[in-house]
Amino acid sequence: MWVLDESGKSLAEIVRSLSSEELIALRYFVKYKSVGEILASRELRALGVRNPSRVLARLASLGLVKRGVGCYTISREVLEEVRQGKVSI
């Protein structure tokens, strides 16, 4: 089971604590895996996320997505837990 080092919370606990906008963004990355920063921001806004930059920064700070050079990618560990059915998003 995936656990954050700092908080000791499980992925399921972290997912339960996310806001509705953060869940929209996380579901988006489960579907699309890796997306350019500009495109992700536009598409998240179209999905109803008012401040995509804030939401993406929060997901990155939690380790759910990783920020690369001009893109965001869902964490491999998160994706595996979702695929295995250990966590529902």
Q: Where are the domains of the chain?
A: 11-83
Task: State the Cα–Cα distance between residues 14 and 60, nearest whole angstrom.
Answer: 13
Q: What is the mean pLDDT of residues 32-47?
A: 97
Q: Is the pLDDT of residue 3 over 70?
A: no
CATH topology of domain 11-83: Arc Repressor Mutant, subunit A (1.10.10)
Q: What percent of the chain has pLDDT over 90?
A: 82
pLDDT at 9: 81
**Confidence class for position 6, pLDDT limits 50, 70, 90:** low
> Taking the complete model, does pTM exceed 0.85, yes or no?
yes
| Burial class of residue 6, CB neighbours in 10 A (0-12, 13-18, 19+) | exposed
